[in-house]
Amino acid sequence: MNTAFGKSAKMILAGLAIAALSASAYARSSHDCGYGMPGQMSDRQIERMEKMREEHQARLHEKLKLTAQQESAWKKFTASQPFPDKTALDPTEMRKLSAPQRMEKGLEHMRAMEKTMTEHMAALKEFYAVLTPEQQKIFDEQTPRFGDRRGYRGQ
């Protein structure tokens, strides 16, 4: 009985420790990134992410060892990448709109992003089709995985 109580007490203490450590994550709004306007990336953040993307593309290009025949598909693929989203809705302007107007603007923005992602997916499929099986494996390992909650590490 002491063993069962000991395990329960340890689990409760571990749960409390996790809750205490993660409390700061809930203190901030989900739309507030901590810099500037809630939900907006600063120009500096966009530039930094753009630089990181370019560096990742350079490393990936090097690892894939593309042939001259594959280069045109690579260029089309990299040119079609939709990030960063410079067309984000302005929170200040959105606050001035009624709820139905905000929803309408949000849907318009979502449709535009869907179109961009669809074009990118077509370029990705075209590029992927010209890769060898070995290159496809490298590409699969080096690209982000949607839905992976652990985050992309590029390893």
**Per-residue model confidence (pLDDT) at position 15:** 63
Given a contact cutoff of 8 angstroms between Cβ atoms, the answer to whether 120 and 83 are in contact is no
Q: What is the pLDDT, as a whole number, of residue 62?
A: 93
Residue 34 is predicted with a pLDDT of: 44
pLDDT of 19 reads: 57
The whole-angstrom separation of Cα 8 and Cα 14 is 10
CA count, 13 A, side-chain hemisphere, 106: 10
Give the model's pLDDT for residue 20: 55
What parts of the chain have a pLDDT lower than 50?
24-38, 152, 154-155
- Are the C-beta atoms of 80 and 125 separated by less than 8 Å? no
Sign of CA dihedral 139, 141, 142, 146: positive
Q: In 21-54, which positions are buried (b, 16+ CB within 10 angstroms) versus exposed (e)?
A: eeeeeeeeeeeeeeeeeeebbeeeebeeeeeeee
Return the ∠ at Cα 151 (arms to 15 and 108), rounded to 5°: 110
| pTM score, whole prediction | 0.61
Provide the pLDDT for residue 81: 81
Alpha helices in the chain (DSSP H): 2-27, 43-64, 68-79, 91-95, 99-130, 133-142
Pick the CATH number of 43-142 from 3.90.550, 3.90.1750, 1.20.120, 2.40.50: 1.20.120
